[in-house]
Amino acid sequence: MVLDRPPEPSAADPRPGWKDRLFNRRSYAWSKRFLDPLFLGAIAVLIAVPVYASGNPWGSFALESAFASIFIMLALAWDFSSGMTGYLNFGLPFFFGVGAFVAGYMSWQDEVTRYVPFLLAGAFAAGLACGVLFAIPTLRLRGPYFTLLSFLLPLLALDFVQAFWWELNMPSLGYWAIPFLGSTPEAELILLSVANGVFLAALCFLRSSHFGLVLRGIRDDEDALLSQGISTFPYKVVAFTISSGVMAFAGASYAMVNSFGGVDTFGFFFILFPVLIAILGGTGELYGAVFAGYFVYLLYANLFPTFAELTLILFVSLAILLVLFLPHGLVQPIRRFIKFMRTEQPS
């Protein structure tokens, strides 16, 4: 049998542009993207938690869930770039802190820039800008070199603020009196849940496009991609820039929920929790962050009154155990279970 060679692309049949690759119409039907039971489950959780909190079962649930939502947002952003590509970015608190400081700075300038949407948009834009400035030089490095550089970022930022806060006309080691995100914790939770829903849908859309395939390919074998014609660098830069924007958005939200954005946002806490959530959810899975985020943060919030500072030690231990015994998180076993239930069993 002799197979005909497919025709070469002609002027009438041009090579695909970025839109074709991004929207990837041939590969995935919309139903396949968004009717995934785990995606629908994650959206259901994002709706259910604010609805439950509105009933106000106990005093602090809405506020704790709002903080959990911020960690979910951070975990989503980290998972989209680091979880999918395998480039471990421990500079997450830097972008988170940039968002908090930009929101603080803008709220101290004048009345116009104090509007919440402006603060969020400004932080998001600053995150994108910092992300691209960080990504272009560092993503030419691989493995531990990239990770080491990313790890230094929040430390540098912390030292910088501590050394120059007076020269920068900051009121202290941070900004206070930042406008609240919402009038009540319940309103803040609703806003954050909507933002998480939008980010989750957008990132899942990108994940299932050709762009997402390349990111997952980078994690598996970047050299093989390069040898077969895919220049991975621009894909990595775009992924890390997007995730930096989301991290900064989360930082601004945190500053507005607290009404204070200070140097604590550059802290270790804001790398430990998102990474723990991403691992428990399943790295590169995105949906898992929603389930794991509420679980981890609400567990922490409820253990803290009993164990105080020991709680963090408990969580670091949990992280070690997770990496050892459940490196692929909870989502993959759930996915296998769903597949098993859908498969027709022999009678």
Binders of other proteins among residues 6 to 25 (CB under 8 A) are 6-7, 9, 13-16, 20-21, 24
Among 60, 164, 221, 321, binds other proteins (CB under 8 A): 221
Min CB(5)–other proteins separation in Å = 4
Q: Is 114 or 219 the residue whose CB approaches other proteins more closely?
A: 219
Among 73, 192, 213, 289, binds other proteins (CB under 8 A): 213
Q: With contact defined as beta carbons under 8 Å apart, do 146 and 138 qualify?
A: yes
x/- contact string, 256-285, with other proteins (CB under 8 A)? Answer: ----------------------------x-
Residue 41 within binding range of other proteins, rule CB under 8 A: no
User: Cα 330 from chain centroid?
Assistant: 18
Tokens read off for 262: 């200070």
Can you tell me whether residue 172 is helix, strand or coil? strand
**DSSP per residue over 39-83, as a string?**
HHHHHHHHHHHHHHHHT-SSTTHHHHHHHHHHHHHHHHHHIIIII
Q: With contact defined as beta carbons under 8 Å apart, do 62 and 53 qualify?
A: yes
Min CB(211)–other proteins separation in Å = 11
Min CB(72)–other proteins separation in Å = 23
Residue 220 within binding range of other proteins, rule CB under 8 A: yes
Residue 229 within binding range of other proteins, rule CB under 8 A: yes
Q: Which residues pair with 261 in a beta bridge?
A: 175
Residue 226 within binding range of other proteins, rule CB under 8 A: yes
Q: Which stretch binds other proteins (CB under 8 A): 33-41, 128-136, 206-214, 235-243?
A: 206-214
Q: Which of 336, 345, 296, 288 is nearest to 319 (CA)?
A: 296
Residue 216 within binding range of other proteins, rule CB under 8 A: yes
Binders of other proteins among residues 282 to 301 (CB under 8 A) are 284
Q: Is 159 or 223 the residue whose CB approaches other proteins more closely?
A: 223
Q: Is 313 or 336 the residue whose CB approaches other proteins more closely?
A: 336
Contacts of 26 (CB under 8 A, 6+ apart): none
Can you tell me whether residue 133 is helix, strand or coil? helix
Strands (E), 177-297: 260-262
Q: Is 194 or 230 the residue whose CB approaches other proteins more closely?
A: 230
Min CB(21)–other proteins separation in Å = 6
Residue 26 within binding range of other proteins, rule CB under 8 A: yes
| Euclidean distance between CA atoms 102 and 75, whole angstroms | 21
Min CB(27)–other proteins separation in Å = 5
Question: Residue 174: enclosing H or E segment and its boundaries?
Answer: strand 174-176
Min CB(2)–other proteins separation in Å = 5
| Euclidean distance between CA atoms 218 and 207, whole angstroms | 13
Alpha-carbon separation of residue 293 from 13, 65, 66, 95 (angstroms) = 46, 9, 11, 19
Among 184, 231, 302, 317, binds other proteins (CB under 8 A): 231
325 φ, ψ (degrees, to nearest 5): -110, -15
List residues near other proteins by CB under 8 A: 1-7, 9, 13-16, 20-21, 24, 26-27, 210, 213-214, 216-217, 219-221, 223-231, 284
